[in-house]
Structures are given as structure tokens and as C-alpha cells.
A = this chain, B = another copy of it.
Amino acid sequence: MSAVLEEPGRLPNARDIILREAAVLFSTKGFAESGLREIADKAGIRSSTVYYYFASKERIYEEIIRIAVDTIFASVSAEIAALPDGATPRLRVEAAIRGHLRALHGNKPFTSTNAQSRIKLPEAVSSVIRPVRDGYSAFWRKLLDEALAAGWLKQGLEPRMLRPLILGTLNRTVGWFDEREGSVQALIDTTITTFSGIWNEAPPARAKSGAKSAAKATVSRPRSR
């Protein structure tokens, strides 16, 4: 997974630099605690110049979130697409976990700005961000619904809690996981093992209908913008 804004053959321009530096600051100190002058300083420009590229500080934030969600969404989709046809719901969910964690820790400033964002964002911000996030949420909801419908989920689980529980756990990892102390792969393995408790020990023999709608989920990823 190549880093955001660093696709080969693409020189980082002023706009990209601003985004990156803002993401670093936002993810480190928080939105309110990061000043535009500070962002501009790190980007090597004056704060008034920022307004040539972005209409406001909030718009920068929104774009970072959008990029983060897009990046993660793409990574998750790629992991699922790489599965053999007819993969089980469990394999599909685990691929999604893999894709999410890989993107999360492969693009930290952006993705951890998103992962750490407050529940209650300023109204102006959240109105732009919500649909972006909702799309990703819907994808996961579908993924888990398929597993549920196919009888893969253990009894006693409140299905509606599963998605926020899992995504919350994954997102929290940006707060403590340090790549210098363990590989992302180890993190993925540990996480998947930890979540292995959600699966039925005796899954149903056939899961054809599940596989079908799963295919639909993969396709349904919308391009934001």
C-alpha cells in the first residue's frame, strides 16, 4: 500500500504538503490545538497562502478525513477482492480487518486524524464528513450482516454492536501501536485471533447466499468526489 499523496510520478505540490503537515499536527495535537500558522510554518509558506488552497481550516480537516476513509476503503476492498471466489464470510471479515489495519498504519498522519476524531465535530465539519464515513460504515454493516444471515456469528452477540466494537478497536490501535515495537502483521494476527471469539465453532456447511451479497458489497464502494 503506497502512502497517500505519494503515488509515483506525482510531485507533492503545495496543496499536498499542507495536507500532510496538517494531518501530522491534527493527529498529534488535535484539531483545535493545531494552529494554521503552525501548519503553514511546517509547510514552508505563510498562513495567508493556505487560503489560496483551502477555504478554511475545517476544509483541510475534511479533506484529510476524506482521504483517510478513501484510503482505508480502498485497502479493505483490495484485500477482499484478492480472496478466492466464494470465500467464507469469516475470511471476508478477516480480510477487511487486515485491509483496515494495513491502511491505518501505512498512512498514519491521515488515518489517525480520522481514527481519533471526536464524536462531536463542529456541525459544519461533520456535515461533509458524515456521508464519507457512512459509506464505509455501510460497507462493514453489510459485511457483518452477510455473516449473520449465513449463520456464522456466535449466539449471544448483539449484532448491532459488532461493527462499532470492531472498528473502534481497530481505530484505537493508532493510539498505542508503535511499529518500532512490533510488526503490523503481528498486530493483524493478534487482532484477528482476539476477535476469533465472534465466530461460531460449527459454521454452516453452505454459505452460497452470503457469498453472493458479499460480492455486491465489494462493488458498492462509491468514489467520494
Interface residues of A, Cβ cutoff 8 Å to B = 28-30, 32-33, 116, 118-120, 154, 156-158, 160-162, 164-166, 168-169, 171-173, 175-177, 181-182, 186-187, 189-191, 193-198
**Most B-side CB within 10 Å, residue of A187, A196, A197:** A197
Cα–Cα distance between A168 and B191 once the two chains are bound (Å): 12
Can you list 21 A-B contacts with CB-CB less than 8 angstroms, sorted by A residue number? A30-B32, A32-B33, A116-B118, A119-B176, A154-B193, A157-B194, A158-B182, A160-B181, A161-B186, A161-B190, A162-B194, A164-B175, A164-B177, A165-B172, A165-B173, A168-B172, A168-B175, A171-B172, A193-B197, A194-B195, A194-B197
How far does the alpha carbon of A166 sit from the alpha carbon of B176 in the complex, in Å? 12
Chain B residues with CB below 8 A from A191, complex form:
165
Complex contact B173–A190 (CB within 8 A): no
- Residues of chain B within 8 A (CB-CB) of A193 are 154, 156-157, 197-198
Q: How far is the CB of A116 from chain B (nearest CB, A)?
A: 7
Query: Are A161 and B175 neighbours in the complex by a CB distance under 8 Å?
Result: no
Q: Nearest-CB distance from A141 to chain B (Å)? A: 13
